[in-house]
Amino acid sequence: MNIKTSGLCILLMLVALPCGSQDAKTGAAETSGICSPAVTGNNNQFTINCQGLSQEQGAKMLRILNKVLAHQLDPEAVMTKLDEILKAVNPNIPVKTYFCNGMWRTAGPGKNAGFEVSMGGDDSVFQEMACKGASCR
């Protein structure tokens, strides 16, 4: 073996040595919330933990999501079709409208009235943005 070949072998070993010390594990993922995702590792596994959702309901949702992915369906088109189905199943379902300032309004049939409107939300972030640099009070 000549000096050129020996030098090339040593160079390749020095370059490859740090690669063997890399750890592929990413550790445990922490998540919180009513329906929050947790992703770990690099094998494209995705876990969603939803409180109040049975195993059977979760399995049905997974079948729907897998079908959407397998057929490469447009998520917006799927949601539009689901909204149409919901309206056909229950045309009197209340409509919830979200506003840019963080507030929302629900209008539709109520428990105690033929038509009920309720409002809520948190506009503190909007107020903070609107009042930045100006005196709002």
pLDDT tens string 62-121: 888 888 889 888 888 988 898 888 878 877 778 888 888 778 888 887 777 677 788 888
Torsion over CA: 121, 124, 130, 135 (sign): positive
Nearest-CA neighbor of 51 among 27, 31, 29?
31
Model confidence pLDDT, tens digit, residues 21-68: 555 555 666 666 666 666 666 666 666 677 777 888 888 888 888 888
- What's the pLDDT band for 8 if we cut at 50, 70, 90? low
| Distance (Å, whole) CA 33 – CA 25 | 25
